[in-house]
Structure 1
C-alpha cells in the first residue's frame, strides 16, 4: 500500500513499504527513470531476513510532487523526512543505477543515522578528477547528458516526447534500449517477471510527466551538493564489468574516493545485473 508523507515544504512523497514491518529498515532508491514500484526482492525473502524495505518516488516521479532545480543532495532531506515520519532512528540504504548517487548523498549527509550503504551500477559526479566520464558510455546516455549540459529546456525537448511514448506503451523503453543491451542484460530483461516489474515501474514513474527523469539527469550533470569522501559508513559498490549505461570506471572512482568502500566488479554482466544481485546485498546491509 502506498502512503503519502508530507515534506516540510508541503510536497507529497509517495512511499511504499514491504517485508517485515518490525524488521530492520532498508531504504531502496530507484533507478532513472523509475518509481517506488521498481523491481525489489520478494516479500518472503525480506521476511526471512527480517528486513523492512522502504521505497519512495523521487520528486517528479509517480505520486511525488516535483522539486524543480533539485540537486542529488536533496534526496537526503527526503530520506530523513520519511525516516522521521516512520519513527526510524537509523537505517541502511541501497541505490540502484540512478538511485546510487542519491543513496550516497544520504549516507554522506545523514551521519549517525545511516548504518551502511550500497550503490549498484552508480554514476560518479560529472567533472570527477581523473575520470573520463563518458568513456564506455552508450550513445543514448551520451546524447542525454549532452542535452542536460545544454540546459533544462534542451533536455525537456528530448525527454518529454520519450516519456509520452512510454506512457502510451511502457514496453517501448526496454525495446528502445534493446540494441544497446549486452547479451547478459538481454537475458535479464527477457525474464517475464522482471520485465513485468520494469514495465510497471516505468509506467508509474512517468504517468504524469517527464519531470522526475529530467530533474534526475540535470542533477547528475551539475554539482551534486556533497562530496562522496564525506561518507564514513561501510560502503559497498557493485558494478557489472560490461555496463555501458554507467561505465565501470565510475564505481572505481567512487571506491577510491570513499574512505570505507569496497568495490565488486563482476565479469560477464552489465547494467541490469543489478536486479539479480540486489537480494545478495541485503544480508550485508543489515549486518551489525
Structure 2
C-alpha cells in the first residue's frame, strides 16, 4: 500500500493503475476506492487512473477530527504532490463531485478537465432529496436502510440480476466516528459562490431517475459553471456509472479527449 502525507500528517492511501495521462477518480460519501472497481478498467484504454481512500476510509488514517469537502480536496492535492503530478483531469461522483468542485475552484492550475457525476452544489441553492427518501434511509433497522440505499442506487432489474457485493453502499470497515465526520462534511458542503470560478472544461453527468441526489441539481451545476456541458442518462439512478456504464463511460472519455485535442 502506498501513502501520501496530508498537511496535518494524516496518511492518505492511494492507488495508481494503467498508463497515460492521469484521471483522478473520486468516490462517494463514506466509500473508499472500491467504489470504482466495476468500471475503472473502462478508462485504461486512454488513461491511467488515480484513486484514493478518503481519510476515515479504506487503508487511510481515520482521525477523530472534523472533516470537510475542502479538507478532502487538500488531501487530493497531497496525493498529486506525492506523485509529482502537476495537473490531472478529475472525475468526481456523489460526494466526490463535491470535493471535485472545490478542487477545481480553489486549485485551478491542478485540474485540466472536470467531470461531475450525480452530485450537487450543496447549501441552500441545491435541491434536497424528498422526505420519503430521508425516512427510508433513516430506518432504525440497518438491513432496511441498506436495502433502501440499494434501491436508490440501482434499478430493480439490476438488483435482481446482481446479488452483490455492491461497493457503492459504503466502506464496511469505517469506524462510527469516521462515518459521522463524512456525513457532516457532505451535508455542510456549499460551493455555490465559487462555482463560477471554475475555469476547467466541465461535463455534468446525472441519471434521469436519481432520487438520492435529485437530477435537478445537474441543471443547477451546468448553469452555474461557465461553459459546462450536461449529459443525462435516461432511466439511471444514483450509481449510473456502474449500471449504465455502456452509456456513461464513453461520453466521459469522448469529452476528455475532445477538450484536450488542439
Coarse TM-score class (shorter-chain normalised) = 0.7 to 0.9
Of 51, 56, 59, the residue aligned with 1:55 is: 51
Q: CA RMSD in A?
A: 2.9
Q: Secondary structure at the match of 1:254?
A: helix
Matched, 1:251 2:218: yes
Name the stretch that deviates more: 61-70 or 104-113. Answer: 61-70
Contact 1:98-1:122 at 8 Å conserved across structures: yes
Q: 1:136 to 1:82 in 2, by over 3 A?
A: same
Matched, 1:120 2:89: no
Q: 1:233 to 1:48 in 2, by over 3 A?
A: same
Report the alpha carbon displacement of residue 75 of structure 1 after superposing the two structures with TM: 2.1
Alpha-carbon distance in 2 for matches of 1:34, 1:231: 26
Report the alpha carbon displacement of residue 8 of structure 1 after superposing the two structures with TM: 2.6
Size of the aligned set, in residue pairs, is 252
Contact 1:240-1:269 at 8 Å conserved across structures: yes
Alpha-carbon distance in 2 for matches of 1:228, 1:137: 29
Q: Secondary structure at the match of 1:73?
A: helix
Which residue in the other structure is 2:134 paired with?
139
Report the alpha carbon displacement of residue 86 of structure 1 after superposing the two structures with TM: 0.5
Alpha-carbon distance in 2 for matches of 1:71, 1:91: 22
Alpha-carbon distance in 2 for matches of 1:251, 1:140: 23
Which residue in the other structure is 1:266 paired with?
233
Q: 1:42 to 1:127 in 2, by over 3 A?
A: closer
Alpha-carbon distance in 2 for matches of 1:82, 1:191: 37
Gaps of 5+ in 2: none
Which residue in the other structure is 1:96 paired with?
93
Report the TM-score when normalising by structure 1.
0.76
Contact 1:137-1:247 at 8 Å conserved across structures: no
Report the alpha carbon displacement of residue 176 of structure 1 after superposing the two structures with TM: 4.5
Displaced runs of 4 or more, over 4 A: 140-144
Report the alpha carbon displacement of residue 28 of structure 1 after superposing the two structures with TM: 0.4
Gaps of 5+ in 1: 145-157, 166-171
Q: Secondary structure at the match of 1:138?
A: helix
Residues 210-221 of structure 1 correspond to what in structure 2 (within 5 A)?
A: 210-221=176-187
